[in-house]
């Protein structure tokens, strides 16, 4: 059993998310490291998508998410999963940052491009940037839904809970968003 | 990567939320960037500044209203006491018992410190209604009051003011100047003026006198002579009746012995002398009642006139000095006002603090079980 010595409290890798969260407070953020190890990469990816590929803003959003986790961990009541709670905080932070940074569409990321062969990398980046622009042109509620639903292994129920909307609403927004994207990309089998 | 099918689109969408970089350890930066922890109440205020300010204004207005409603003002209480009827005197008497001025008059005269007489007594509270009714006699209309006033004013031109005050009397109404004198000269000059004016014009004349200069002091007195008048009338009536009886006796006993007639005439003379004395006293009282006495002391304003600024620099310094004095005065007024507000509303401030504490506690316990802190 590996232990993480970030604080006086002993944290084990087998601890549940709830147990980790219970040990977090602004004065003693024990357990935050393990929680971050489990979710930070996912949160960064989602923030990257929601912030139009701005890696710097994504880092800010996730860092602010951890700050809020430390602040409000004591108020977590267990009505939802810790993962849902974390993603909800991150989504809210991304919304705030997107409002604040009006220049988001101006820059597209270069630094996190996967290390592949040069030609493939350039083509993939071009495609991704084109798709990112099209996603950005979607209404905000549809944009959040489509990015969240295709993020990692996110289920529709979990995404609906994060966005605090009914599953039916989420599915209708997702359908509308996909229809728009397929039409713009001129894919033949439009649903 | 190209998007040729819905499956490609889904793959591309998944790639938009993939983080291909290194593990960032942002949680360590977050710990370093954690701002100092504030109380829940402070966070509530910081999160809702306008709502907090509005709530504070409402609470302050409510507190001020409560303070003004329930905290008795000292001046108000004193005025009420001043206006209460005195023991042994009728309520709602229409004369000034012992120099008292309205609050507005006191404020207007600044340093003037008239003599007050609190006319309410504990014993009065035990008076029966019959006693109070008895004390209301005689009526205000029949009440005889000798009014006296003395006013001390300061002016730059004593002689001019003295002459102008002399013109305040209406000789046609029987008013006159009883005494007028001047003493000293220059800065030590002062004048005394005793005016006899109609009692019903006392207030108007005093108002005009106050406009002649700065009032240093003012005193009003009222002496109730109703009892004396009633007593004098009764004695006078009695003596007149005795006089009539003596005259009738003298007329009916013309054949009486000379010694008896002389004795009656002597008695008649004594009665008539008494009647004349009482009539003179009655007339004197009537005159004193109908004409109020106003003693005016006019003093010279001894302070030298303020030096007029010569030149722009002097003017600037003078204005700067005035501004500084005004600023200090405003500061003192503000401090006094705040202290007054703090002390007079101490109970309500305490209640307000308790209420805010209770609200903060309620907010602290009313948070959602699964909040979204970033919202």
Q: Minimal Cα distance from B39: which residue of A? A: A71
Collapsed DSSP state (helix, strand, coil) of residue B215:
strand
Q: Find the residue in B nearest to A154 (Cα).
A: B14
What are the structural domains of chain A? 7-111 (1.10.1740.10), 113-191 (1.10.10.10)
How near does any CA of chain B get to the CA of A70, in Å? 8
Determine, yes or no, domain membership for B115: yes
Chain B contacts of A147, Cβ < 8 Å? 13, 16-17
Is B340 inside a domain boundary?
no
Contact in structure between A30 and A9 (CB atoms under 8 Å): yes
**Integer Cα distance of B341 and B307 in angstroms:** 40
What number is the average pLDDT over the span A104-124? 54
Q: How far is A124 from chain B (nearest CA, A)?
A: 5
> Is the domain of B153 the same as that of B125?
no
**Among B248, B277, B304, residue at a domain's last position:** B304
Examine residue B347 and state whether it is found in any structural domain, yes or no.
no
Same structural domain for residues B56 and B205? Answer: no
Q: How far is CA A31 from CA A1, A8, A44, A60, A166, in A?
A: 15, 10, 19, 21, 32
Chain A partners of B28 at a C-beta cutoff of 8 Å? Answer: 33
Is B154 inside a domain boundary?
yes
Among A24, A41, A57, A64, the residue to mutate for chain B (most B Cβ within 10 A): A41
Residues of chain A positioned with their CB less than 8 A from the CB of B6: 178, 182, 187, 189, 191
Residue numbers of the domain that contains B249? 144-304
Residues B169, B260 share a domain: yes
B67 and B80 inside one domain: no
**B21, B25, B27, B31: CA torsion to nearest 10:** -130
Find, in chain A, the residue whose alpha carbon is nearest to that of B371: A76
How big is the A-B interface in CB pairs under 8 Å? 154
Residues B161, B298: one domain? yes
pLDDT string in tens for chain B (375-residue length): 577 788 888 888 888 888 887 777 888 888 887 766 667 788 788 778 888 888 888 888 888 877 776 665 555 555 555 444 444 444 444 344 434 444 444 444 444 444 433 333 334 444 455 555 555 455 555 788 888 999 999 888 888 888 888 888 887 778 888 888 888 877 788 889 898 988 888 888 888 888 888 888 888 888 888 888 888 899 999 999 999 988 888 888 778 888 888 888 899 899 999 999 999 998 988 888 888 899 999 988 865 556 666 788 888 888 899 999 999 999 999 999 999 988 988 888 899 999 999 888 887 765 443 445 544
Residue B327: inside a domain: no
Whole-number Å distance between alpha carbons of B297 and B195:
11
> What distance in Å separates residue A7's CA from the closest CA in chain B?
12
- Domain co-membership, B203 together with B286: yes
Could you give the number of structural domains in chain B?
3
Question: For A122-148, what is each residue's pLDDT tens digit?
Answer: 777 788 888 888 888 889 889 999 999
* Distance from the A12 Cα atom to the nearest Cα atom in chain B, whole angstroms: 17
User: Based on the domain organization, do B214 and B110 belong to the same domain?
Assistant: no
Rounded to the nearest angstrom, the gap between the alpha carbon of residue B1 and the centroid of all alpha carbons in its chain is 91
- Domain-embedded: residue B222: yes
CB B26 within 8 A of CB A159: no
Shortest CA distance from B12: residue in chain A:
A128
Considering the domain architecture, whether residues B204 and B295 belong to the same structural domain is answered as yes
Q: Are residues B219 and B236 in the same domain?
A: yes
Q: Is residue B359 part of a domain?
A: no
B89 and B234 inside one domain? no
- Quick check: A131 and B12 CB within 8 A? yes
Q: Among residues B248, B280, B304, which one ends one of the domains?
A: B304
Residue B14 lies in a domain: no
Question: With an 8 Å Cβ cutoff, are A93 and B374 in contact?
Answer: yes
Looking at the structure, do residues B96 and B215 belong to the same domain, yes or no?
Answer: no
B66 & B127 share domain: no
User: Domain ends where: B86, B121, B137?
Assistant: B137
Considering only A21-25, A112-116, B98-102, B332-336, which range has the smallest mean pLDDT?
B98-102
Nearest-Cα residue of chain B relative to residue A44 = B19
B306 part of contact set with chain A, CB < 8 Å: no
Task: Please check whether residue B194 is in contact with residue B180, taking contact to mean a CB–CB distance below 8 angstroms.
Answer: yes
Pairing of strands A11-12, B190-198: unpaired
Three-state SS for B228-296 is: HHHHHHHHHHHHHHHHHHHHHHHHHCCCCCHHHHHHHHHHHHHHHHHHHHHHHHHHHHHHHHHEEEEEE
Which residues partner with B295 through β-bridges? B150, B194
Considering only residues 12 to 41 of chain B, which have any Cβ-Cβ distance to chain A shorter than 8 Å? Answer: 12-21, 23-31, 33-34, 37
Q: DSSP class of residue B92? A: T
Whether A92 sits inside 8 A of B372 (CB atoms) is yes
């Amino acid at each position: 059993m590996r232990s993480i010595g970030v604080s006086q409290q002993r944290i084990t890798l087998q601890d549940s998310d709830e147990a980790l969260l219970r040990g977090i407070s602004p004065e003693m953020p024990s357990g935050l490291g393990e929680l971050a190890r489990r979710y930070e990469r996912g949160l960064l990816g989602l923030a990257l998508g929601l912030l139009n590929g701005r890696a710097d803003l994504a880092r800010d959003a996730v860092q602010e998410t951890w700050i809020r986790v430390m602040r409000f961990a004591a108020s977590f009541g267990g009505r939802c999963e810790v993962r849902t709670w974390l993603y909800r905080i991150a989504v809210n932070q991304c919304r705030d940052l997107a409002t604040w940074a009006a220049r988001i569409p101006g820059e597209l990321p270069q630094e996190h491009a996967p290390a592949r062969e040069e030609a493939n990398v350039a083509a993939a980046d071009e495609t991704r940037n084109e798709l990112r622009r099209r996603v950005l042109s979607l209404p905000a509620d549809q944009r959040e839904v489509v990015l969240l639903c295709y993020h990692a292994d996110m289920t529709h129920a979990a995404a609906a809970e994060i966005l605090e909307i009914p599953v039916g609403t989420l599915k209708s927004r997702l359908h509308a968003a996909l229809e728009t994207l397929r039409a713009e990309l001129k894919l033949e089998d439009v649903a | 990567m190209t998007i040729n099918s819905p499956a490609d689109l889904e793959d591309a969408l998944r790639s938009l939320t993939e983080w291909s970089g290194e593990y960032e350890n942002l949680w360590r930066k977050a710990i370093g960037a954690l701002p100092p922890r504030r109380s829940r109440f402070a966070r509530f205020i910081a999160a809702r500044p306008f709502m907090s300010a509005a709530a504070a204004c409402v609470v302050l207005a409510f507190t001020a209203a409560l303070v003004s409603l329930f905290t008795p003002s000292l001046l108000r209480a004193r005025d009420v006491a001043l206006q209460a009827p005195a023991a042994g005197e009728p309520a709602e008497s229409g004369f000034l018992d012992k120099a008292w001025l309205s609050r507005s008059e006191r404020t207007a005269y600044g340093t003037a410190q008239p003599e007050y007489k609190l006319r309410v007594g504990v014993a009065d509270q035990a008076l029966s209604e019959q006693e109070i009714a008895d004390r209301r006699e005689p009526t205000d209309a029949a009440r005889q009051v000798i009014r006296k006033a003395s006013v001390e004013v300061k002016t730059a031109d004593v002689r001019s003011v003295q002459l102008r005050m002399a013109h305040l009397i209406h000789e046609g109404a029987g008013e006159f100047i009883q005494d007028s004198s001047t003493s000293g000269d220059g800065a030590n000059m002062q004048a005394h003026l005793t005016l006899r004016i109609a009692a019903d014009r006392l207030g108007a004349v005093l108002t005009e006198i106050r406009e002649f200069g700065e009032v240093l002091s003012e005193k009003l007195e009222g002496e109730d002579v109703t009892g004396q008048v009633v007593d004098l009338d009764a004695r006078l009536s009695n003596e007149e009746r005795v006089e009539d009886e003596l005259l009738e006796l003298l007329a009916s006993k013309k054949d009486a012995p000379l010694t008896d007639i002389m004795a009656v005439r002597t008695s008649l003379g004594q009665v008539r002398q008494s009647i004349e004395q009482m009539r003179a006293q009655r007339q004197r009282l009537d005159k004193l009642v109908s004409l109020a006495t106003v003693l005016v002391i006019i003093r010279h304003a001894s302070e030298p006139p303020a030096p007029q600024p010569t030149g722009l620099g002097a003017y600037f310094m003078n204005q700067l000095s005035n501004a500084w004095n005004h600023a200090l005065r405003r500061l003192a007024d503000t401090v006094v006002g705040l202290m007054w507000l703090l002390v007079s509303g101490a109970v309500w401030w305490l209640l307000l603090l308790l209420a805010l504490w209770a609200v903060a506690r309620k907010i602290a316990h009313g948070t959602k079980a699964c909040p979204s802190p970033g919202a």
